[in-house]
Structure formats: C-alpha cells, structure tokens
A = this chain, B = another copy of it.
C-alpha cells in the first residue's frame, strides 16, 4: 500500500518537495485496534499549521505519515463494537490504509455519498449553521454578509441565509470566485476584496446595511465591514485567516468604538461548543439540501498522489467549497 511521508518541514511556502510518496506493507492491527481503508481525506488550511510545531495537536516530524482527518472503512477489527464494513471518522494519515486504536475512531452514519460527511453534514456545514443560526440569529429580511464566501464554510452560510429569507452578500478573492458565488450558489451579490473600493462596493450591495457579518478573515475586511453594520448587528467571529501568517497583525482601528456606538455583538465560537444542537442542524441542512435550497459544494481531487498539490492549492485559495482527496471509492 502507498503512504505519503513528510520529507522535510517547510520554512516558507509549502511545495511538493516537502513530501515523499512510498510503498509500505499493509499494517497489522493488534488487540483493541482496527485496520482502516482510507476513503476520503479532508484538506484544510490547518494541515499547514501542524507542520509549524505543536498546536492543538502534537507537532508533525520528518518521517511521519502526513496526518489528516478522514472518512474510512473498517477492513479488519480486533476491537469489540467495531465491525468490518463500519464507516468511521478518524485522525488518520495520507495513506491507503492504517491501523488505529478503537478509541481513536468515531462511528459515522452510513449515508451516501460519504463526501457529504466532510462537507454539508460535516464540520463545514455544521460550522456554517451553528455560527449563523446559533450566534447570528438571522431574521427574515435581514442582510447577511460573509467573507471567504467561496470557501468550505462561507458558501453554506450564504445559502442558509437565503433559505431563511435573508439577503446574502459574499466577499471573495478574484472575479471568478465571485461569479461562482453568485451564479452557482445563488448569493445576491459577491464583492472582490482584491479590487479597490470595497467600502463603496459594500455600500451598493447592502443598501439597508449589514445585520450579520460572518467573519472568516479578520483584518482589513473586518474593519471595512464594521462601518456598514446596522445598530444591534451581530459579528460572527469564525476565523481570522488574514492574520495567521502576518508578522505584524493589525487590529481593526474602529474596534471597540463601533461596537459601542452601534451596540454590536461580536461573538466567537467553535463548532464543538454547539454539539447539543447538531441533530437540529443536520435535520435543517438535510431539508434544505433535499429542497435544492442548499447546494453541496465539494471540491474532490482524485488520488492519494495528488494530496500534496491539493493542500498547496488550497493554501493559495484555489478551492471552491470543501476540498478533499478521494483515496478509494465509496463502498457499495
């Protein structure tokens, strides 16, 4: 079987040279372990941060299999309660197969296609739902603005907003993404933050102001968005990608002034905090998907070999929706 090894740790930009593909014997499970066939690997910006040192998980070292969150099928079990054919999610690795302790895998509902477990019914869809509905609390007729609108989370935010009767305006990088967000996802408008005049464009796209800003980026885009918030608006703080690689982070200069004057609520969250509402989220998402109100946006790249390029491309922002790598077909 094949696996991909971290050949060297990146200092600057990630390149294919940081990885090495190799053959290895199929791993053999011990007592209490299972052997997994990897089906779909989630490709996330966080993967890059794991190569920087310890974060919320241990640091990755040269010689390790590159880690990933993945959907897998159990092909051999030496653990009670886990059977061959079960579909599980696990912190796995860039490999065709691997062995994990039973305690490291989570049973998944057996729905098809399995890719939905990483996109609309996975962390992306649940993050969008819990952030927008649980934190933002949209009312029909309100205007919802979301940055990184072509990303794995942002695309769902705008579609859920539309399904709930709101106006949805996106912000994304480049004219092609913006067109895709409007034409494919059905947003009312999408603004290119790389163009000059974002402030004026926002004013035109949100004539009644912004009631909810779902912020994935922080920095200058947040600062600009704050000027357009309505009184008692909500800023859902989901991420701050503009700041992650910055050596000179800059805070929005209108904070906290505008929070006071406009009586804004800015609130951060992580998806796990809202696990108690997961069933409600999944039921709503399923209803909207079935009604065609929410399109499932997946960016699936075929073949384990392409994982390095899939991650490098994601970091350059070339994905549309949730990016993943397919290692094996869904089981029947």
Tell me the A residues contacting B by CB distance below 8 Å. 215, 218, 222-223, 235, 237-240, 243, 249-270, 273
A223-B251, A251-B250 known; A260 vs B273 contact (CB < 8 Å): no
CB–CB B254/A222 < 8 A: no
A223-B251, A273-B263 known; A240 vs B268 contact (CB < 8 Å): no
**Complex CA–CA separation, A161 to B57 (angstroms):** 37
A265-B266, A265-B267, A266-B265 known; A238 vs B255 contact (CB < 8 Å): no
With contacts A251-B255, A260-B268, A260-B270 known, what are 13 further pairs, Cβ within 8 A?
A: A215-B256, A218-B257, A223-B251, A237-B256, A243-B257, A250-B251, A252-B255, A255-B255, A256-B266, A259-B266, A259-B268, A261-B268, A265-B265
Which residues of B sit under 8 angstroms from A270, Cβ to Cβ?
A: 260, 263
Q: Which of A235, A243, A268 has the most CB of B within 10 A?
A: A268
CB–CB A262/B257 < 8 A: no
Copies of this chain present: 2
Chain B residue at minimal CB-CB distance from A266: B266
A271 to nearest B CB, angstroms? Answer: 11
Chain B residue at minimal CB-CB distance from A270: B263
A223-B251, A237-B259, A250-B253 known; A267 vs B268 contact (CB < 8 Å): no
CB–CB A256/B223 < 8 A: no
Q: Could you write out 12 A-B pairs with CB less than 8 Å apart?
A: A218-B257, A239-B260, A250-B251, A252-B255, A252-B256, A255-B255, A260-B269, A263-B268, A264-B266, A264-B268, A266-B266, A267-B267
- From B237, B260, B269, give the contact of A240 (CB < 8 A): B260
Which residues of B sit under 8 angstroms from A253, Cβ to Cβ?
A: 249-251
Which residues of B sit under 8 angstroms from A222, Cβ to Cβ?
A: 256
**Complex CA–CA separation, A263 to B255 (angstroms):** 17
CB–CB B273/A269 < 8 A: no
A242 to nearest B CB, angstroms? Answer: 10
Chain B residue at minimal CB-CB distance from A235: B256
* Nearest 6 pairs of A and B residues by beta carbon: A251-B251, A259-B268, A260-B268, A266-B266, A237-B259, A265-B267
Which residues of B sit under 8 angstroms from A243, Cβ to Cβ?
A: 257
A259 to nearest B CB, angstroms? Answer: 4
Which residues of B sit under 8 angstroms from A235, Cβ to Cβ?
A: 256
Which residues of B sit under 8 angstroms from A266, Cβ to Cβ?
A: 256, 259, 264-267
Chain B residue at minimal CB-CB distance from A249: B253
CB–CB A249/B257 < 8 A: yes
A58 to nearest B CB, angstroms? Answer: 18
**Complex CA–CA separation, A215 to B253 (angstroms):** 16
Which residues of B sit under 8 angstroms from A264, Cβ to Cβ?
A: 266-268
A332 to nearest B CB, angstroms? Answer: 41
